[in-house]
Amino acid sequence: DTAVSQTPKYLVTQMGNDKSIKCEQNLGHDTMYWYKQDSKKFLKIMFSYNNKELIINETVPNRFSPKSPDKAHLNLHINSLELGDSAVYFCASSRFRTSGNEQFFGPGTRLTVL
Amino acid sequence: AQSVAQPEDQVNVAEGNPLTVKCTYSVSGNPYLFWYVQYPNRGLQFLLKYITGDNLVKGSYGFEAEFNKSQTSFHLKKPSALVSDSALYFCAVRAQNTGTASKLTFGTGTRLQVTL
């Protein structure tokens, strides 16, 4: 049973296109996250939702728009893709109210912008 | 602002020898501390965490970490390394009682290479 799943696993697209990445978790968690891992493996949070409410919104271009239709899903839509958007995007989930809650990560989506 | 430092880009160790991957942190107040491991082309896997209490924390796959408040460190250790432990290791910190979501700050990662 996959705990946190992402689709697609690989995404290759041209500059200027619009694309979406989907994430689903079956852990019953109430908080979900999007992270970006660059080519040097540096991992940085982008967004977080708790019970469908946006609670973390880091300094990310407006071209990136998250959407959480319910607690189990968090999607990421990217408009007008740029070369610098090429990275691996990870979805994660956790229990918000539990102290010291660890996050569970999906397998990642490798985005390549040509 | 909270931060994590992993001073070594890579740690090399022979199989069977003990290993240590270093991590120091900076946070306001008390920390929650975590170690994650990332294998090639995979997501991060949780290894262990420090919340409170005993400074020595035991985790998955025989790993352990020691919380040292005075040195603001949380080094990852294993008594006997395996070739299969070769991976990228991330330390992460979050301040307790932040009143906000679980915003983790990650270190830059340390690549562990275990050789025969």
Does the beta carbon of A112 lie under 8 angstroms from any beta carbon of chain B?
A: no
What's the CATH number where A84 sits? 2.60.40.10
Task: Report how many domains make up chain A.
Answer: 1
Per-residue pLDDT at B101: 58
Question: Does the distance separating the beta carbons of B43 and A31 come in below 8 Å?
Answer: no
Per-residue pLDDT at B102: 58
Is A85 strand, coil or helix?
helix
Does the beta carbon of A105 lie under 8 angstroms from any beta carbon of chain B?
A: yes
Confirm if A81 and A13 have CB atoms less than 8 A apart.
yes
Structural domain boundaries enclosing B9 = 3-115
What b/e sequence results for B24-54 when a residue is b if at least 16 CB atoms lie within 10 Å of its CB, and e otherwise? bbebeeebbbbbbbbeeeebbebbbbbbeee
Best residue of A43, A55, A105 to probe chain B, by most B CBs closer than 10 Å: A43
Q: Is the pLDDT of residue B98 over 70?
A: no
Structural domain boundaries enclosing A82 = 4-113
Q: Is the pLDDT of residue B100 over 90?
A: no
Task: Report how many domains make up chain B.
Answer: 1
What's the CATH number where B76 sits? 2.60.40.10
Banded model confidence at residue B74, pLDDT cuts 50, 70, 90 = very high
Which residues does A114 contact at the CB level (< 8 Å), separation at least 6?
A: A12, A13, A14, A15
- What is the arithmetic mean of pLDDT over A59-75? 92
